[in-house]
Amino acid sequence: SHRSADHAKQMRELLSGWDVRDVNALVEEYEGTSALKELSLQASLARPEAKTLQKDMAELYEFKYCTDVDLIFQETCFPVHRAILAARCPFFKTLLSSSPEYGAEIIMDINTAGIDLPMFSALLHYLYTGEFGMEDSRFQNVDILMQLSEEFGTPNSLDVDMRGLLDYMCYYDVV
């Protein structure tokens, strides 16, 4: 309240020497600007939300569109995209280059203790989206994350790795 009183006082001082028509023009300008701001906000809210790379990648992982290699972990098949995993993770780049054929089944042998099916799936989801599902308390454990980064390597940001995949086209047949 004290602050608004200061603003009111400053406005009175500023406008005290103005002609009434000029003050009226200023008020109309403020009202017009306020209406444009409101209109802009309403237009933004009316637009459908644009998909992000992260959401598209999450859908790609979740719905398994056009996968080209199967990772077998604890007798469970994880259909994945060779180019994405190779671009995101040095471990997978090396592993997948040893079986270049389409539809290859690759048995996963992970040395990090405590990796189960949900954690392996969350790790793949992270490589696709750059996000861990933090609801899983195991990912709060810094020791496990450090072991995973030592075994798999630490990826760049999702945007950087996908830009590299697009720019260098080392997996040109998948883009």
Q: Give Cα 73 distance to the centre of its chain.
A: 26
pLDDT at 6 over 90: no
Number of C-beta neighbours around residue 102 at 10 A = 9
Residues 6+ away with beta carbon under 8 Å from 105: 69, 70, 72, 77
Q: Give per-residue pLDDT as tens, 120-163.
A: 898 899 999 988 765 655 555 667 777 777 788 888 888 899 98
Q: Phi-psi category of 141—alpha, beta or left, where left has phi over 0 and alpha has psi -120 to 50?
A: beta
pLDDT tens digits for 54-93? Answer: 999 999 999 999 999 999 999 999 999 999 999 999 899 9
Collect all residues with Cβ–Cβ distance below 8 Å to 77 and sequence separation of at least 6: 70, 71, 105
Instruction: Return the pLDDT at 128.
Output: 94
Q: What is this structure's pTM? A: 0.68
> What's the CA gap between 39 and 43, in Å, rounded?
6
For residue 50, the model assigns a pLDDT of: 84
